[in-house]
Structure 1
Amino acid sequence: MTVELPLLLDLLGVFFFAVSGSLLAARKGFDLVGSVLLGSMAGLGGGVVRDVILNQGPPAAFSHPIYLAPPLVASLLVYFTVKNVQRSGRLLFMFDAGGLALFCVTGTLKALETGMNPVAGILLGVTTAVGGGILRDITANEVPSIFDPKDLYAIPAFIGAGLATGLWHLGWLNLTTGTAAAVVVFTLRMLSLHYGWHAPLAARSWTPRRARRG
């Protein structure tokens, strides 16, 4: 990958997650400022956590002002285009899945390029992918998707980060293969929505229906 390509994919991931944050803000009845802030948390939160852990200087979101553009564009896009806020749940899911797919690849790549071992690379890739969503959901008083028993969230991120790590060590990680890994993650997320897939519950005796009632 060239120097410009990871930045482009990173910004695209920021935009996807920022749209999910702005859509959630709209569903919660936040104002436009709240939409920008929630979109920024969703789009930038995971990358900031990753960069702080890597200790490579100021996080990219603060040292490169261009990272602030996607949340602004996302909030304006939602403001002018979304007509039915209450029916935007599937759209929110799709943009969240897109951000997760891109960030688990770009986050892993950045970790590996700074000298992290494969296990650390995968963990930081997953952290990048899920961190912004956790901040978004907690701020909006929602159960974070990663903890939702009816959702498949972290497992696709681990698969994508694992694929990116394997491709990077084989010297095969490029635009085509990186995009393919992201497509795998996105597809798993969308299939989980369609078929109702979820990870095994913490206690085998606990059923999803009982969990919802509790």
Structure 2
Amino acid sequence: MSSHIFSPGLQQALDLVGIFVFALSGGLLAVRKNMDIFGICVLAEATALGGGVMRDLVIGATPVAAFSNLGYFSTPLAAGLVVFFLHPEVERINRAVQTLDAAGLGLFCVTGTIKAHDYGLGFVASVALGMLTAAGGGVIRDLLAMEPPSLLRWDREIYAVPALVGATVVALLLAAGRLTGLNASAAALVAFTIRMLALRYGWRAPRAWHRNGSRTSEE
């Protein structure tokens, strides 16, 4: 199967790092929303695991990995506790958290696309689920916090687009029968690089053409 391009030990280690960093972002939003420790842990879990859970439910991979692997479920709880006790320090290293978050985005768009393909989905569906794996948790996080999802807001740097590009590269390699650990890592690096450039230069997706310029940005 294509999912075996990485060794199981390396795959799990990378997954846990990505899950931990995603969980930190969920916990930090909970702190900003003045939630208690339960809310912090819920948002940490939702952010870290939400995309993978939705992917697994769509493709019928049950029980979903998030609940069949204790490490996947407990890691966001650990991140939530880190935020609960040390959130001022975590906020101060927010740039590093964003960098690791971008790395997690790249990793999960790759692994999500591969898993969808292994379950028999076609090119477009595999790309869509790769993007969902990477960005879906953030949508759930924002909805639980009663915020407009960040990836749908024009005033935020592009997030789903880098995942979409990385997932597309992987799907093309799968279709050509050329996917290897090396070029899968390169696809993750592409998504990571686009996300980091977006943060550096404020890249945003275009809005509708011929939009009434007299309206305010909040409309």
Distance 1:87 1:97 in 2: 18
For residue 21 of structure 2, what is the aligned residue in structure 1?
16
For residue 33 of structure 2, what is the aligned residue in structure 1?
28
Would the alpha carbon gap of residues 204 and 154 (structure 1) be closer, same or farther in structure 2, given more than 3 Å must change?
A: farther
Mapping of residues 124-203 of structure 1, within 5 Å: 124-150=129-155, 151-169=157-175, 170-174=177-181, 176-203=182-209
Distance 1:160 1:177 in 2: 11
For residue 87 of structure 2, what is the aligned residue in structure 1?
82
Structure 2: stretches of 5+ with no match in the other structure: none
CA contact 2:170–2:179 (8 Å) conserved in 1: no
**TM-score with structure 2 length normalisation?**
0.85
Per-residue deviation at 1:84? 5.6
Deviations 1:4-32 (A, max 9, x none): 14433333322221111112112222222
| Local SS of the residue matching 2:208 | coil
For residue 56 of structure 1, what is the aligned residue in structure 2?
61
Q: Which amino acid aligns with 2:46?
A: M
Would the alpha carbon gap of residues 34 and 24 (structure 1) be closer, same or farther in structure 2, given more than 3 Å must change?
A: same
**TM-score with structure 1 length normalisation?**
0.86
Distance 1:105 1:192 in 2: 19
For residue 212 of structure 1, what is the aligned residue in structure 2?
217
Q: How many residues align?
A: 212
Q: Percent identity?
A: 44
For residue 68 of structure 1, what is the aligned residue in structure 2?
73
For residue 42 of structure 2, what is the aligned residue in structure 1?
37
Q: Check if 1:120 corresponds to 2:125.
A: yes
Would the alpha carbon gap of residues 2 and 97 (structure 1) be closer, same or farther in structure 2, given more than 3 Å must change?
A: closer
Of residues 46, 64, 69 in structure 1, which corresponds to 2:51? 46
